[in-house]
Structure 1
Amino acid sequence: MLYKKTALLRAAAPVAVLALALTACGGNKKSSTSTTDNAPKTEKSSSAPEGGGELKPGQGGTGKFKEEDGTITYAVAAQKVKVSTEAETAKLVSDPKRAKGLVAATAWVKYTNKGGGVVKESPDVADESEIYADGRRGGLLIGAAEDGPGCEDTIDIENWKTGQSHTICQTYMIPKGAKSVEVHWTAEGQSGSPLIWKFDNAG
């Protein structure tokens, strides 16, 4: 992942000064609608693919990820995506001028340790989740989602055992008015075949 968000970076980013990475964003979208799309919260894991494939919002897929403590098998399920308004986005970024034409999109993703060991602290599994808008990856907004409702800060996650789940959020900047939003998560060795959850943002 190009913009790897580490625990050190998150700890160093004050709430009012967020590191904004915008190089992957496209700003030429015509629509001006910005909405919130809440996905079903039930995880449907019976037909979940392993390694890569498309899933419904809330449906879980599985994949391996190399943490500092070893390679862990995770069940991953993107629960919902919230696309902020321009006014809400302006309050999140340190320099609103840099965010012109863009809005913040936050994804709630549930991760379950399915085996492979105990993650002692600060898991990195969420670093592989990305948000795409109309087929293009957004720019990571560091420090914006860790304290959101229902979001857990990875700095606070310790001794993550098999069978336990945590919901970790990621926020990306996407073009205002994007009609479709996708959450991608990539398992170890599956860079060309991520798990993909599609959310309708047409309003």
Structure 2
Amino acid sequence: MNGKYRKNPWVRAAAPVAVLALALTACNGGDDAAGTGKESAGPGKSSAPAKGSTGELEDGGSDDLQLGAGESAKAAFKEDDGSITYSVAAQKVNIGTEEDTKKLVSDPAKAKGFVPAVAYVKYTNEGGGTVASYPDVGDNVEVYADGNRGSILIGASEDAPGCESDSDIENWGKGQSHVICQTYMIPKGSKEVAVHWASDEDSNKPYVWTFKAS
């Protein structure tokens, strides 16, 4: 059920490190890299559905909804253009190196012992309207390492291979899919990484895709 880390090179050649200022805590729920203000949320406990299933958000409860790598969850999400129903599937997480960290972070000393993790998430518009531009659906992704939330690195994923920038997505209609990525800093040597996504950033019941190291 669990996927595995992908350790293929992904860091773009020239990263605007001025945008990627990093603030890290002792990794018990990291601070956000560029002042996004998101709060850390604790990990949940629930069994995964059968492979190939599609999850549906339900009211009540506080357990996360566990899915396997590539499995999709369907939920309505409020965009500026209205409520859009998306299928969401975390495909993989690419883990970088400490050398990659030095290229991405303006003050590498603050990120000593941390490496970047890029979460690749595929979104499909299942109906509800057309998103004219700048979709927000990819903003609600968080990456956890060994149960602790990492620190988001704003702007680091847009040019990573296979990732799309939300600023380039226009007229996103029904049936169309896009892969939007998020980069988080996690401790080097982490054993397990999990991608969290929820239709509401304040939700206590996100979908969770877990990837284990080999």
Counterpart-to-counterpart distance in 1, 2:122 and 2:208 = 14
Q: 1:64 is matched with which residue?
A: 76
Q: Indicate whether 1:94 and 2:106 are aligned.
A: yes
Of residues 1, 15, 27, the one that matches 1:25 is 27
Quote the residue 1:161 is aligned against.
173
Q: 2:150 is aligned with what amino acid?
A: G
Contact 1:25–1:173 (CA<8 Å) still a contact in 2?
Answer: no
The corresponding residue for 2:17 is: 16
Write out per-residue CA displacement over residues 52-104 of structure 1, whole angstroms, 9 at most, x where no aligned residue: 61111011111111111111111000011011111112111111111111111
Q: Describe the SS at the equivalent of 2:101.
A: helix
Structure 2 partner of 1:41: none
Question: 1:25, CA displacement in angstroms?
Answer: 2.7
1:48 aligns with 54
Aligned pair count? Answer: 173
SS of alignment partner, residue 209 of structure 2? strand
* Alignment partner of 1:187 is 2:193: no
Q: Contact (CA 8 Å) 2:51, 2:68: kept in 1 or not? A: no
Change in CA separation of 1:189 and 1:168 when aligned onto 2, cut-off 3 Å? closer
TM-score in terms of structure 2 length: 0.75
Shift of 1:22: 2.7
1:170 aligns with 2:182: yes
Aligned to 1:35: none
What residue identity is the alignment partner of 1:25? C
| Cα deviation digits, residues 136-176 of structure 1 (max 9, x gap) | 11110011110111100000000100110000010001111
Structure 2 Cα separation of the partners of residues 145 and 50 of structure 1: 28
Given candidates 89, 92, 102, the residue that maps to 1:80 is 92
Q: Deviations over 1:8-57 (max 9, x none)?
A: xxxxxx72321324348349xxxxxxxxxxxxxxxx98521112611110
Structure 1 counterpart of 2:11: none
- TM-superposed deviation, 1:114: 0.6
Partner SS for 1:127: helix
The question of whether the paired residues in 2 share the 8 Å contact of 1:72 and 1:114 is answered with: yes
Query: Aligned to 1:131, which of 143, 152, 158?
Result: 143
Letter in structure 1 aligned against 2:53: S
Root mean square deviation, CA, Å: 2.1
The normalised TM-score by structure 1 is 0.79
- Quote the sequence identity (%): 58
Q: Which amino acid aligns with 1:79?
A: Q
Contact 2:23–2:110 under 8 Å retained in 1: no
- In the alignment, structure 2 segments of 5+ residues that lack a partner are 1-14, 30-49, 58-63
> Following the alignment from structure 2 to structure 1, what is the Cα–Cα distance between the partners of residues 26 and 54?
29
- For 2:98 and 2:74, how far apart are their aligned partners in 1? 35
Q: For 2:163 and 2:141, locate their aligned partners in 1 and report how far apart those are by CA, in whole Å.
A: 14
What code does the residue aligned with 1:49 have?
A: G
Cα distance, 1:188 vs structure 2: 3.4
**CA 1:130–1:79 in structure 2 vs 1: closer, same or farther (change >3 Å)?**
same
